[in-house]
Structure 1
Amino acid sequence: MSLIKVTNLTFAYDGSYDNIFENVNFQIDTDWKLGFTGRNGRGKTTFLNLLLNKYEYSGTISANVSFDYFPFHVDNKGENTIDIIDLIVPDYVHWELMRELSLLKVSEDVLYRPFDSLSNGEQTKVLLAALFLKENSFLLIDEPTNHLDMDARKLVSDYLNAKSGFILVSHDRAFLDHCVDHILSINKTNLEISKGNFSDWWENKKRQDNFELAENEKLRKDIKRLSEAAKRTNDWSHEVEKTKNGTRNSGSKVDKGYIGHKAAKMMKRSKSIEQRQQSAIDDRSNLLKNIESSESLKIAQLAYHKNQLAELEKVSIYYGEKTVCTDISFTIEQGERIALSGKNGSGKSSLIKLICGENVSYTGTFRKGSQLKISYVSQDTSNLKGNLTDYARNNGIDESLFKAILRKLDFSRLQFEKDISSFSGGQKKKVLIAKSLCENVHLHIWDEPLNFIDIISRMQIEELLLEHSPTILFVEHDSEFCNNIATKVIQLS
C-alpha cells in the first residue's frame, strides 16, 4: 500500500482565466478501487492527464507508483492484436495474459487478428487485460463502458471488482456500484473523497443537499425578518429626530438633548440589526456551494393522427451477403418508450436506420405512417463544429430554447462562446439531445444517447421521459436507465 498525495493543486488551461482546479488537497490509497464522478466539463479527464504529467500545474502530486491510462492509444490498428499488446507491455508473461483474457472471456485467436477487426467490446477487454499486467502501476480507466452492450458491461464490472489499484471514470450507476469501494467526486467548488460505492455517495449527497437547502430557507427567513426590523427601527429613529423641532406637549419646550440621545440609540440599534443581517447573508453565501442545478426539462411532441406510427413484420436486414438480423416484428404506438436491446452487432442501429428512412436492404414488411416526423440522435458526434448560434440556425431550431436546454444541462454561458469541436464528449452528446428536444416531431429515435453524459444529466433525461411520456425508440446500455424508462423491450438475438 502507498499513497498518492495531491497538495495545493491549481491548474488552468493556457489562455483561460478560469481555474479548473484551485488549491485542491486530498490523498488516495493505491489499493482502492476508486470511482470518479462529476458533471461533464468539470475536469475528470484533465485530472487524469495531470497525473500523467501532461500539463504544467502549481502544487504537488506525489506518488510511489507509475500511472497508465486506458484506453491506450493505438496508432496502427491494422497490426495484429498481439503486436499491440507488445507495445503496451513489452515484458509480459504469456500465461499471465491468457489468464486475464480468460477472465474476460476473450478467446486466444483474437491475438492473431488485426486489432481493427475486433469489436469495440473485444478491443476494450484486450486493452484492459494488457494494462492489468503492468506491475507497480495505478491504472487510470477513462469511460470503458461506452459502446459496450449490457452483457459486456457486466463482464467488465465483474473483472474490475476482482482488481484494485485504479481510478475508474464512468457514468453508469450500476457499473460503478458493482466495482468501486470509494468515490472521488468533482463538485461545483471542490473535490472530495468518500467511502463506499456510487449509491452510498449519492445518498450522502442528497442528505447534505437537503440539509443545506433547509439551512438556506431558515437563513432566508432570518434575513427577511432582520431586514424588516432594521427598517422599522430606522423609521422610528427618523420620526423621533423630527420631534426635536416640534413640541412634546402643548405649551412645553422640547428636550432636544433627550430626543437626540433616544434617536441615536435607535439608529445604533438599526445599524446593529443591519450588521446581523449582513452576517446572515455571508453565512448564506457559504451554503448551496455544491447543490447541482438540475432543472426539469420539457418535450412537446406533435400528436399523430393514428395510434400506430410504424410496424415491422418478419423484417430481416442484410449488408451484402451478411445477415444482420432476422424475423424482427414489433409495432411503435403513441406513448410507448421502446428499448431496442441486444449485443453489439445484433442489428439495433440497422433497424433504426431503416425506420429513419435510410437506404437499408431488407426483406419482410415495414410500414411507416405517412408524413411521420422523426428526430434522430446519432451515436456519432465527430462532425460537430462551429458555434452554437450557427448550429441552431443551420438546423432550423429556436436558438433561445436550444441554449436554455443546454443551460439546464449544466452548460455555463462561457461555454456558448466556444467552438463545439472543443467540447467534451458528454457536452457534444448534450448538444445532440438539446437539438432533438427542440424539434417538432411525432417520434424520437435515440441511438446510445447517454454515452459520455454525466449521471445527474442522465437523471434529468429520465425525469423528462417519465413526466412527459413521449413516443421514443432508443438503444441504451445503461441498465438502470432502461429499467426506469422502457415501457417495452425488443430483444434482438
Structure 2
Amino acid sequence: MILLQCVNLSKSFGAEPILSNIKLEVQTGDRVALVGRNGAGKSTLLKTIAGQLSFDSGDIIRPKDVEMGYLAQDTGLESGLSIWEEMLTVFTPLMKMEKRLREMEQKMSDPDLLNNDTNYNKLLAEYDQLQLDFKDKGGYQYEADIRSVLSGLHFDSFDYNTKISTLSGGQKTRLALGKLLLTRPDLLILDEPTNHLDIETLTWLEQYLQGYPGAILIVSHDRYFLDKIVTQVVEISRTHSRKYVGNYTHYLEEKAKRYELEKKQYEKQQGEVAKLEDFVQRNIARASTTKRAQSRRKQLEKMNRLDRPEGDEKSAYFSFQIERQSGNEVLRIDNLEVQYGEEAIFSNLKLDLNREESVALIGPNGAGKSTILKAITKQIPYTNGTIRFGSNVVVGYYDQEQTKLKSNKLVLHELWDDHTLLPEKEIRTVLGNFLFSGDDVLKPVSALSGGEKARLALAKLMMQKANLLILDEPTNHLDLDAKEVLEAALINYPGTLLFVSHDRYFLNRLATRVCELDNGQVTDYLGDYDYYLEKKEENRQRLLLKEKEEQVQSSSHASDPTQGKTDKQSFAQDKEVKRQERQRLRRIEEIETKIEDLETNLATQEEALCDPEIYSDHEQAQSIQQEIDHHKLSIEQLMAEWEELQSE
C-alpha cells in the first residue's frame, strides 16, 4: 500500500528554488533515507510533507486513514506532567476503553440486568467486541511498552514521577522521540533522531526501528545507523531528487557507478553528434551528397540529447600535515583523578598513546570522555595523577562545542590573526578549501552556522600542523560529504590521534584501538569498532557461561565439599548446564500449554455467562465470575514467568 507520494513537488524561498520536481514514494514497510548536503532541503521537504510548510507546485498524496508521526530536529518535549503521565497520554483511548470495560463488568453483575435477557445479551456482545478491540490495540501491554521504550532511551534510572520541566534539553529531546515511538504511526518521519544519543542508545534505537511495523522516512548524518536501518536512499542535490535502492554504503557505490555510466553514454553521444555535424557541414552544399547530409541533419534533430552528467557538488579539500615527528611515546596518563565538586568523575585512570596510533575513546554519556580530553589539554584541572607528553609532541585540540569561535572577528581574520606572516592570498586559499569563498570570508564568526563553524575550526586545526590531534566529536555539525572528506584527511594523517566520537562509521574507518571508559576505568580493544563489538559479545557470553559454571560448581560443593575440580566434574557441570537449559525450554512449553488451556476455559466460562438460566442464578453466576477472575490472574502470572524465562 502506498502511504505517501510526492509528485513533482517544488518549493522556493523568495526567488531561490530549494526543491524542484521532487519525486518520492513511501510504501508499507519501506525504510527510506533522505540524504544530501547541509542546506540541500531535506528538513524543508520533511516539514512540507508534515504540513508545517506550504509548497509552490506539485502534489502530496496521502490516504486519509494513514497516520503519520513527525519528529523535527532537536524537538524537545515541553510539558508540565511527569515522565510517566506524559507517556500515558499516548494511550488515553486505551485507558478509556479499559475504564469502560470495568464499568460494563460492574453493570453485568447487576441483578436487574440479569432478568432482562435482551439488554443483557446486547451488553455482553458489546463487552466482547470492546474486549477484543482492547486486546488487539495492545491494551494488556501498553505499560510494559512504556517501560521498554523509557529503558531503551536511558530513563530506567529515573523516577518516573520526575517533572519533564526539570529535565535537560537533550533529555526532553529523547522523551519526545520516545513518545512518538509509542504512538506507532503508519508512517514515522524522523529528522536527525540520533542527535544527543550515546552509542548504547543508538544500538537500541536501531533494533527498535528494525522491528518497527510501519514505514520510516528518515534524515540522519549517522552512516552506520543508515546502513543498519534503510533499504532505500533518496538523494536531494541541486534541488532535485534521485532514488537508489539499498542502504547508505550501497548508495555510495551505486551513485559512483551511475555517474561513470552516464558519463560514458554522454561522451559516446557527443562523439556521434560531432561526426554527424561534421558530415552535414562538409556535404550539405555538394549536389551528390546533399540528400545524405539532409538525412544526417534530420537524424540530429530527432536525437534525444543527453545532458552532461553532474558530478558531486564542490567539496571541502584539506589534509593534516605535521611540522616534525614526535618520539615513539606520545602520551602517558597514570592514576589520573578529576573531581566535579566533591565527587570524583574517575580516579586511578591510565591511558597510553604511541606514535601514529589512532585511538577512539568511547563510553556512555557522562562517563567522562570529554573531561579526559580537557584535562589533557589543560582546560580543566585534575586533582591527582600525572599527564606526561613525549618528546617533540605538539598538541592540536578540536572542541565539539567550538567554544572559542564566538568572536565578532571576520572569518578571514579569525584564521589570519593566528598566522600573520602569511599573505592574504594563502589564507583565502585555505579558507576556499574549506568552502569559504568570495564574501563568505567577510562574515562575522558569530553569525556562522554550526556546520560553518565546524569547518572553520578544522581549518584552524589544520594550520597548526600538530603531531598529536585530540578531537572531541569532530563529525558533529558536518554533513555526510564533509564527514567523508574529514575521514580521508585523518586516515592519511602522519601523526597520532586521540578522539571521542559517537559516529560508529567514523570509528570503524579510523580507530586502530578502542578504549572504553566505563565506571572510571579504561578497557583496551586492539581493533576497530566492529572488532570491539565482537569482543564485547564474546566477553559477555564467556561471563554468562562462567556464571552458570559457578552456579553448578556451588551446587556440587554444597553436596560434597571435598570434591576437587576434575575433568569428570567439568563434564558433570556441562551436563548440568545443558540439563538446566532443557528444563527451561520444557517449562516454557508447559507454560504455553497452560496458558492455552486457561484461555480456552476462560472463553467457555465467559460464554456460559451468556446463558440466561445461569445468570438467573445469582450465586452460580458469581461463582463463574470468580473463576474467570482467577483464570485471568493465573494467565498474567504465567505470562510474567514466560517473559522472564525467554530473557534468560
Alignment TM-score, normalising by the size of structure 1: 0.77
Structure 2: unaligned runs, 5 residues or longer: 96-141, 421-425, 519-648
- Aligned mates of 2:495, 2:273 — CA distance in 1: 43
Match of 1:10? 10
Match of 2:209? 160
Greater Cα shift, 345-354 or 295-304? 295-304
Summarize deviations over 1:74-115 as a string: whole Å, max 9, x none: 376897434654788876866142343355564274422354
Summarize deviations over 1:108-139 as a string: whole Å, max 9, x none: 74422354776888655433221123364633
Q: For 1:8, give the aligned amino acid.
A: N
Aligned residue among 487, 494, 514 for 1:462: 487
Contact residue 184 and residue 194 of structure 1 kept, 8 A: yes
- Aligned mates of 1:314, 1:126 — CA distance in 2: 37
Match of 1:389? 412
SS of the equivalent of 1:456 reads helix
Match of 1:253? none
Match of 2:397? 376
Correspondence 1:100-115 to 2 at 5 A: 100-102=149-151, 106-107=155-156, 109-115=158-164
Contact residue 77 and residue 173 of structure 2 kept, 8 A: no
Aligned residue among 68, 71, 77 for 1:69: 71
Match of 1:329? 350
Contact residue 146 and residue 452 of structure 1 kept, 8 A: no
Match of 2:251? 201
- Aligned mates of 1:324, 1:310 — CA distance in 2: 21
Match of 2:47? 49
Does residue 431 of structure 1 match 2:476? no
SS of the equivalent of 1:131 reads helix
SS of the equivalent of 1:111 reads coil
Aligned in 2, Cα 1:78/1:8: closer, same or farther, shift over 3 Å?
Answer: same
Does residue 148 of structure 1 match 2:229? no
Q: For 1:363, give the aligned amino acid.
A: N
- Aligned mates of 2:302, 2:346 — CA distance in 1: 67
Aligned residue among 472, 478, 497 for 1:472: 497
Greater Cα shift, 326-335 or 385-394? 385-394
Summarize deviations over 1:27-65 as a string: whole Å, max 9, x none: 222542222211222111122222233333212323334
Contact residue 401 and residue 438 of structure 1 kept, 8 A: no
Contact residue 66 and residue 137 of structure 1 kept, 8 A: yes
Match of 1:402? 430
Match of 1:186? 236
SS of the equivalent of 2:383 reads strand
Does residue 131 of structure 1 match 2:159? no
Q: For 1:57, give the aligned amino acid.
A: F
Aligned residue among 355, 368, 371 for 1:347: 368
Match of 1:301? 322
Summarize deviations over 1:319-342 as a string: whole Å, max 9, x none: 122222233222333322221122
Does residue 489 of structure 1 match 2:539? no
Query: Which of the pair has the greater relative contact order for Cα pairs under 8 Å at 6+ separation?
Result: 1
SS of the equivalent of 2:475 reads coil
Aligned residue among 81, 84, 97 for 2:83: 81
Greater Cα shift, 302-311 or 460-469? 302-311
Q: For 1:34, give the aligned amino acid.
A: V
SS of the equivalent of 2:508 reads helix
Match of 2:139? none
Contact residue 326 and residue 355 of structure 2 kept, 8 A: no
Question: Residue 176 of structure 1: CA displacement?
Answer: 1.2
Aligned Cα root-mean-square deviation (Å): 4.1
Contact residue 12 and residue 56 of structure 2 kept, 8 A: no
For this pair of structures, how many residues does the alignment match? 456
- Aligned mates of 2:504, 2:259 — CA distance in 1: 26
SS of the equivalent of 1:214 reads helix
Larger radius of gyration: 2
Correspondence 1:246-265 to 2 at 5 A: none
- Aligned mates of 1:339, 1:207 — CA distance in 2: 33
- Aligned mates of 2:343, 2:359 — CA distance in 1: 26
- Aligned mates of 2:51, 2:446 — CA distance in 1: 24
Match of 2:474? 449
SS of the equivalent of 2:218 reads strand
- Aligned mates of 2:463, 2:93 — CA distance in 1: 54
SS of the equivalent of 1:349 reads helix
Structure 1: unaligned runs, 5 residues or longer: 238-260
- Aligned mates of 1:206, 1:440 — CA distance in 2: 33
Counting aligned pairs with the same residue, the percent is 25
SS of the equivalent of 1:61 reads strand
Alignment TM-score, normalising by the size of structure 2: 0.60
- Aligned mates of 1:490, 1:465 — CA distance in 2: 19
Greater Cα shift, 447-456 or 84-93? 84-93
Q: For 1:470, give the aligned amino acid.
A: G
Summarize deviations over 1:115-173 as a string: whole Å, max 9, x none: 47768886554332211233646332122223433222111111111113332211222
Greater Cα shift, 116-125 or 315-324? 116-125
Q: For 1:148, give the aligned amino acid.
A: L
Contact residue 360 and residue 514 of structure 2 kept, 8 A: yes
Aligned in 2, Cα 1:76/1:402: closer, same or farther, shift over 3 Å?
Answer: farther
Q: For 1:53, give the aligned amino acid.
A: G
Summarize deviations over 1:268-289 as a string: whole Å, max 9, x none: 98xx89x97x999x956x1322
Contact residue 444 and residue 471 of structure 1 kept, 8 A: yes
